Amino acid sequence: MIYQFDDFELDAGKVELRKAGVSVGVEPQVFALLLLLAENRDRMVSKDEIIEKIWDGRIVSESALTSRVKFARQALGDDGKTQKYIRTVHGQGFRFVAEAKAVGGAQVLASPAAVGPAATPAADGAAAKPSIAVLPFRLVGIAGAYSAIADALPHELISELSRLRWLFVIARGSSFRFRGIDPDILEIGKALSVRYCLSGIVEIAGERITVTAELSDTRDGGVVWGERYEATVDDIYDIRRQIVSSIISSLEIQIPLHEARAARIMPVENLDAWAAYNIGLQHLHRFNQQDNEAATAMFERAIALDPDFARAHAGLSSTHFQNAFLGYNDDRKADRIVARNHGERSIELDPLDPFANFVMGRVHWVENDIAGGVGWLDRAISISPNYAQGVYARSWADAVCGRGIEGAKNADLALNLSPLDPFRYAMIGVRAFAYLVQGDDAQGAYWADEAARTPGAHVLIAMIAVAAHEMNGDKEKASAWAKNVRNRNPGVTREDFFKSFPFEDKKTRERLSTALGAHGF
């Protein structure tokens, strides 16, 4: 679709803003903001919606949003005083006020590969599977006995990334040929036919060592993600594993997010299976009924395009798990059956995919067989030790089965592996459960509060906060959270709570039940 207004064209297919036919350079988030406002020109777009769509719901500052609006106006020759194209609705959001018309763009169908990562077909016909090259890290400073770390870290990263079944990893023998002070990311992408490149710098200054890692998109050279790690030279070998784990866990989140952002601006009919899957994953991790339905549609489309796409089946299993776990539909039994069928199909297609094993473990949860799912979760972690969501799920099973200490340890590990994970609210919620199981109601209440305030937290997490504060003797906070629960779901009961959280420890179950009952649930 192309949106035309005055002498401007906003081309969704080419991801391009043009003025009088000449391209106007804008960064991806600014273009996405313009497109979002143009698509919804019949209404105001709230600040919350902009953050949800442009930043995928991550917490950002007011200044970050303001700067993107400023740059969008500058690209159009507009400003905050004139507001010819983008009007501020004070304290609420923004609206696109220019007279614009939408026309079909033949270019979209003619050159889908130009759009971005999600549309790039693999030479062997594989469904647009992303690929990555890990370069030798550049060494800065006087390394002495620690010079090997610049090659050792990327070598270990290649080995660990190769465990990710959805990612094609270039072998060390090819990627390590690209040594240099300032490697040309675009040329490396062409030479190795890869979509992403991970590079890094190891800097040694006296007793301090700093490792910087950077993920780039080889099509445009743009930085997708970056992180910095610091240590002393004496303990670098001890924390090397921690650095590798952190990078792997971050890439598991950042690459699919980047893929989804590129795919979202494409027409639905032009999506391939991988693009549809990544958009589905993005919707799935918003943890609400509307997005869960959108995720289901995307995963179904991916399977229609590629019936043997294991991860799409795992995704569809997850949406039906969420239906059953959160009671989105009346027929929980039907959702349990569909969740199991697609979970089993994903395992059949790729038994070594940790995501497939993860969904099979959670299928047992909605079948009220927590212990039966533990083996699947342990297998997911065994396949990929850095798989934070698998570690989180194991911590949840521990807490619900009364193993509070083990649950807390695994929840902490999951948070360390993936501090910005979509399941962060649930990881923190397990911390709360773990303390409540151990009888530490004060800590349980603190972490329940943190979990319920974390983005993505569903209504059952707020019910944990109700119970935890009541058990800790803070009736005022418990009542406040009870009001929050009823505003979000007036009909939810403690029976619904225990269907999703089937505590095996009778004492903990009774305490939770009494606490929820005190507030009418």
Domains and CATH numbers, the chain: 2-108 (1.10.10.10), 114-250 (3.40.50.10610), 267-386 (1.25.40.10), 401-521 (1.25.40.10)
Query: What does the pLDDT look like over 450-496, one tens digit per residue?
Result: 999 998 899 999 999 999 999 999 999 999 999 999 999 999 999 99
pLDDT exceeds cutoff 50 at 109: no
pLDDT bracket for residue 55 (50, 70, 90): confident
What is the C-alpha to C-alpha distance for residues 67 and 308, in angstroms, rounded to an integer?
A: 44
- Token pair in block for residue 206: 């006296």
Task: Give helix 370-383 / helix 388-400 axis angle, nearest 10°.
Answer: 150
pLDDT single digits (tens) 360-388:
999 999 999 999 999 999 999 999 888 99
Specify whether the CB–CB gap between 198 and 217 falls below 8 A.
Answer: no
| Residue 158 clears pLDDT 80, i.e. is over it | yes
What is the average pLDDT score of the chain?
87
Quick one: pLDDT at residue 180? 67
> What is the residue type of 201?
I
Q: Which pLDDT band, with edges at 50, 70 and 90, does 57 fall under? A: low
Contacts for 39 with CB less than 8 Å, ≥ 6 apart: 3
- The pTM for the full model equals 0.68
**pLDDT reported for residue 299:** 96
What whole-number percentage of the chain has pLDDT above 90? Answer: 54
DSSP for 268-308 reads GGG--HHHHHHHHHHHHTT-SHHHHHHHHHHHHHHHHH-TT
Strand 196-205 versus strand 138-141 pairing type: parallel
Q: What's the average model confidence in pLDDT over 192-217?
A: 90
